[in-house]
């Protein structure tokens, strides 16, 4: 595990800490509204019915590439050695879309609707990032 990770890390808040705690355990958790059943990423209220009541439920960790870009220009020194790198939005089977990176695939091989599954990146002792790889 890397302890000298130099890239930006997610900010943990009261609203998203269960998500990041699940990631640390290699479990992708999503919020499910107790009012209408809508599944979402971390937010204070349900975007469909405005209920504040929810529970954290496990995701399948599978989805598809919704869209992506390949970054060729340095915008941050922290990512300079990774150039070119991809930034993707994965639509999970449960519905929510996550901003992430695709791993174990060449950038040229990424395509729309590519079926992917979560791949864990333990970047520090406290933070694990969910990235995605093609389904084998």
pLDDT tens for each residue of 5-22: 999 999 999 889 999 999
Q: Is residue 103 part of a domain?
A: yes
Count of the separate structural domains present in the chain: 1
Mean of per-residue pLDDT scores for the chain = 95
Q: Is residue 8 part of a domain?
A: no
User: Strands, E, within the chain: which ranges?
Assistant: 29-33, 39-40, 54-58, 62-71, 85-92, 97-100, 115-122, 128-134
The model's pTM: 0.92
CA distances from 18 to 15, 37, 42, 48 (A): 8, 18, 9, 21
Range of the domain at 124: 17-134
For residue 4, what pLDDT band results from cuts at 50, 70 and 90? confident
Pairing of strands 39-40, 62-71: unpaired
pLDDT in tens, 77-87: 999 999 999 99
Cα-trace Rg, the chain: 16
Q: Is residue 9 part of a domain?
A: no
Q: Is residue 67 part of a domain?
A: yes
Q: Is residue 6 part of a domain?
A: no
Q: Is residue 5 part of a domain?
A: no
């Amino acid at each position: 595990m890397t302890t000298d990770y130099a890239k930006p890390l997610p900010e943990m808040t009261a609203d998203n800490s269960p998500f990041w705690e699940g990631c640390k355990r290699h479990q992708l958790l999503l919020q499910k509204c107790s009012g209408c059943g809508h599944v979402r990423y971390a937010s204070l209220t349900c975007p469909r019915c405005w209920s504040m009541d929810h529970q954290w439920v496990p995701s399948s960790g599978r989805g598809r590439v919704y869209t992506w870009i390949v970054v060729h220009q340095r915008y941050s020194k922290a990512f300079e050695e990774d150039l070119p790198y991809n930034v993707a939005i994965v639509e999970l089977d449960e519905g929510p879309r996550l901003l992430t990176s695709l791993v174990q695939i060449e950038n040229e091989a990424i395509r729309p609707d590519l079926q992917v599954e979560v791949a864990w990146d333990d970047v520090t002792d406290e933070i694990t990032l969910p990235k995605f790889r093609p389904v084998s």
